[in-house]
Amino acid sequence: MFNRLYIHVPFCIEKCHYCAFISRTPQKNEIDEYPALLLRELQLSPHDIRPLASIYFGGGTPSLLKPKQLATLLEGIDTLATIQADAEITLEANPGTVDLNSLKEFRNAGINRISLGIQSFDDRFLNRLGRIHSAQQSRQAFQDIREAGFNNVSIDLIHSLPGQDLDQWRTELQHAIELCPEHISIYGLTVEEGTPFAHIYPSNSPELVDEDISADMFELADELLAAAGFDHYEIANYARPGFSSQHNSGYWKRDGYRGLGVAAHSFMRDEYGVRFSNPDSLTHYQHSVLSGLLERIDEHRLTESDAVAEYLFLGLRLSEGISLTAFEGEFGKSLESVYGSVPSDLISLGLLQHNGSVLSLTGRGMLLSNQVFSRFL
């Protein structure tokens, strides 16, 4: 069963130097032919589809799709699966690919939330990252998004960029606050193997930001964004009241979702759940859909203990934490009976907190979340 849809668009104008996502420059007709494959995949999908509460176009660069293609795609999805009247429908947009006209058309097509990949307000860093846009283009794109009528806008920023210091990061945060988005996602840079960044910045590069400074950057974001009225509702996400991402919150609450497109991941809710992904090359994916086979890569049916661990390390990402009563309702046993003293040990270490029947990460626990989650695996 699923009630959320993720659609992966695996095309980008150029590959950013740090990027390990599945995306590449499109060849002729590939973008034009892609939406029909997505609809065919949904049509063939055998699972029980509930009215869709959210749709997320991610990538890659989904804003490379033409507004008309998106409109046709959303109409097709509505016919096959029914989109709820109040569904959140997000489009990730690269500032170098949109203008006022396209944004107006995206809105008319049914998109009601934009996630804008700004990453930095400093052209030196944008060049270093290999982004195709300048800081000025990001500002213009944001202004156009507002003028097109979007009132639910998220921006992405990256900290711990090579050569970045705490003062520069403070300036980035101030610029972000001045724009007044409803939502901000913040990621610390990780240098992924196989990317140009891994060659330019080997692990001993003096330009890489050390862990302590990176932790200071995380805490500075927390401090400045809280003071500006943002709720730190998830480890990497901040929102004004009422604007947390409904789609991503569904991931953390283990709602079922279907991923359409190259390399898209799916999670079907039945018993403890099943996870799988689509082929990660366009040719392979095309064959999988056109043959009607819908090949599943790395299909994994979760056991009860997998589901329990997921419930914790996904649910604890949210500042609202997990309800111990809901946990017992879901699994028919107490958290203590599964993990013994682990939760209370983490409380003593100041990484978890207990409030009534709710267990959540402390501020320090958010910073050291990987250490916390490893205790539940």
Site residues (vs ligand SF4, CB under 6 A) = 12, 15-16, 19, 21, 23, 59-61, 94
Residue 23 or 90 having the CB closest to ligand SF4: 23
- Min separation Cβ 132 and ligand SF4, Å: 7
Residue 59 or 162 having the CB closest to ligand SF4: 59
Q: How far are the Cα atoms of 34, 134, 152, 159, 223 from residue 166, in angstroms, in the given order?
A: 42, 22, 29, 9, 13
Q: Select from 130, 121, 222, 137 the least CA-distant residue to 178.
A: 121
285, 37 in Cβ contact below 8 A?
yes
According to DSSP, residue 11 is labeled B
Residue 161 or 308 having the CB closest to ligand SF4: 161
- Min separation Cβ 265 and ligand SF4, Å: 15
15, 61 in Cβ contact below 8 A?
no
Q: How far is CA 224 from the centre of its chain?
A: 22
Residue 12 or 366 having the CB closest to ligand SF4: 12
CA atoms in the 13 A half-sphere facing the CB of 216:
12
Q: 166-179 vs 211-227: helix axis angle to the nearest 10?
A: 30
Which two tokens mark 343? Answer: 């939760």
- Min separation Cβ 103 and ligand SF4, Å: 18
- Min separation Cβ 136 and ligand SF4, Å: 18
Residue 11 or 233 having the CB closest to ligand SF4: 11
SS3 annotation, 212-249: HHHHHHHHHHHHHHHHCCCEEEECCEEECCCCCCHHHH
Residue 62 or 67 having the CB closest to ligand SF4: 62
- Min separation Cβ 96 and ligand SF4, Å: 9
Query: Whole-angstrom Cα distance, residue 344 to residue 375?
Result: 12
- Min separation Cβ 341 and ligand SF4, Å: 42
